[in-house]
Amino acid sequence: MEGRRGAGRQGRERGKEGCLYDGHQPRSLRSSSKRDSQGPSSHHHQGAALGLGWGEEVVLLVDRQTFPVNPRLFTRYPNTMLGRMFCSSMENQLTLKPNERGEYEVARGITASLFRAVLDYYHHGVISCPSSESVSELRETCDYLMIPFNEKTIKTQNISDLLNELSNDGARAQFEKYLQQNLLHAMVKCTQKGERECQIVILMEDDVIDWDDDYPPSVGEDHVERVTNSELCRFFKYFENRDIAKDTLREKGLKKIRIGIEGYPTTKEKVRVRAHTGRTEVVYNYIQRPFLRLSWEKDEAKSRHVDFTCVKIKTDIAPDAEAATLLSGNEDNNFDY
């Protein structure tokens, strides 16, 4: 679900704070034209835009059902989508054109039951999630209409789904901080060595790493960057958080992203010598810790190929050796490079 909703996260953040409308669409609206969410802009007074006197009712058409409302209902919340549509401000006014029955289509793709619940926000400041609708769909509707989605504005019997949506918000905001304060520094260290990919292991602050200099463990990579942050380590223990982190990194242009949990060597347990070969081996203790692999390579396909250029050198060849040279040249041409 998070991957499918990745395109709307910026709109969700802005809608949560009541900021500018950016045309975010719910999952059920993404096949529709953007004109349904944005509409043609206008700088006229509401009466000029809607052809109505102030205080007159308008009829909104949503999911083939009509909703007679007074435009003043929306002006109490001017930072919501409907508030901007029916605001008398010349800067925020959106022009709406009615259909042949004088109805205004404002939210194509939103179900009538969800829209009816959303209207309660303008009456009472609270939305009760209909039993026939999921909390996630209500969330996307709120994002589209730029209505804050939090524990104060949403009431539902499904507390688990509500908390999950709020946790998704918290995880996105928290990972942005971890990315800037912890992970980016490790990536930059790789760029200073000319690398274009990076593997990072996240350790707890009380983890002890003590490797034998003569017999270091094999960790599967030539070099692994370590980030010590107990909070980030706990953050990645949740699958949903790892999924959100992947989506965030993809949105920032990074590629080949892998986030998981695997063993990482910490301290030497014992040293043993194989009887048949006499080879010395060191056994290490391992702990389960989160890891992250990613790449920012641009020409990834070109790195797998090497261009060879064959330069012909003209030399004087003795007549008696010319035939042997030609034969050798024909044999060389049979090889594939």
Shared-domain flag, residues 148 and 257: no
Q: Where are the alpha helices (DSSP H) in the chain?
A: 9-17, 46-50, 72-75, 81-85, 112-124, 135-145, 159-178, 184-191, 230-235, 239-251, 319-332
Same domain, 211 and 261: yes
pLDDT of residue 90: 43
Q: Would residue 61 count as lying in a domain?
A: yes
Distance between CA atoms of 283 and 269, rounded to whole angstroms? 5
Do 205 and 254 belong together in one domain? yes
Question: What is the C-alpha to C-alpha distance for residues 181 and 189, in angstroms, rounded to an integer?
Answer: 14
150 and 193 together in one domain: no
List of residues 6+ apart from 139 with CB closer than 8 A = 12, 149, 165
SS3 335: coil
Longest CA–CA span in the chain (Å) reads 109
Tokens read off for 109? 């793709």
- pLDDT in the model for residue 309: 54
Q: What is the pLDDT of residue 109?
A: 86
Report how many domains make up the chain.
2
What is the pTM assigned to this prediction?
0.67
pLDDT in tens, the chain (337 residues): 443 344 344 444 444 433 333 334 444 443 333 333 333 333 333 333 444 445 578 899 999 999 999 988 888 898 999 988 877 554 444 466 788 888 888 888 899 999 999 999 999 999 999 999 999 999 999 999 999 999 999 999 999 999 999 999 999 999 999 999 999 999 999 999 999 999 999 999 999 999 888 888 877 556 789 999 999 999 999 999 999 999 999 999 999 999 999 999 999 888 888 777 777 788 899 999 999 999 999 876 666 555 555 555 555 555 555 554 444 555 444 444 4
Domain final residue, candidates 295, 312, 328: 295
Residue 27 to residue 6: CA distance in whole angstroms: 11
- Does 185 lie in the same domain as 149? no
| 318 belongs to a structural domain | no
- In this predicted structure, what is the pLDDT of residue 301? 64
Say yes or no: 30 and 117 in one domain: yes
Could you tell me whether strands 225-228 and 197-203 are parallel, antiparallel, or unpaired per DSSP bridges?
parallel
Contact call for residues 85 and 132 (beta carbons, < 8 A): no
Q: Does residue 323 lie within any of the structural domains?
A: no
Task: Kindly state whether residues 203 and 270 are assigned to the same domain.
Answer: yes
Last residue of a domain, one of 134, 157, 180: 157
Q: How far is CA 281 from CA 166, 270, 276, 278, in A?
A: 50, 9, 13, 9
pLDDT at 280: 79
116, 146: one domain: yes
- Strand partners of residue 289: 262
Do 181 and 149 sit in the same domain of this protein? no
Structural domain boundaries enclosing 121: 6-157
Answer yes or no: is 102 within a domain.
yes
Residue where a domain stops, chosen among 157, 181, 208: 157
Of the candidates 167, 163, 159, 121, the residue with the CA atom closest to the CA atom of residue 141 = 121
In total, the chain counts a number of residues equal to: 337
> Which three-class secondary structure state does DSSP give residue 44?
coil
DSSP, collapsed to helix, strand or coil, labels residue 270 as strand
Q: For position 315, what pLDDT does the model report?
A: 54
For tokens 């990194």, the residue is 249
What's the CATH code of the domain at 53? 3.30.710.10
Q: Does a structural domain hold residue 319? A: no
pLDDT at position 163, please? 97
Residues 108 and 134 reside in one and the same domain: yes
| Within-domain flag for 31 | yes
Task: Determine if residue 3 is left, alpha or beta; phi over 0 gives left, psi from -120 to 50 gives alpha, anything else beta.
Answer: alpha
Question: Does residue 302 sit within a domain?
Answer: no
Query: Residue 317's pLDDT is what?
Result: 52
- 320 occurs within a structural domain: no
28 plus 140 within the same structural domain: yes
DSSP secondary structure letters along 181-227 = IIIHHHHHHHHTTT-SEEEEEEE-TT---B--SSSPPP-SSS--EEE
pLDDT at 303: 61
Same domain, 21 and 152: yes
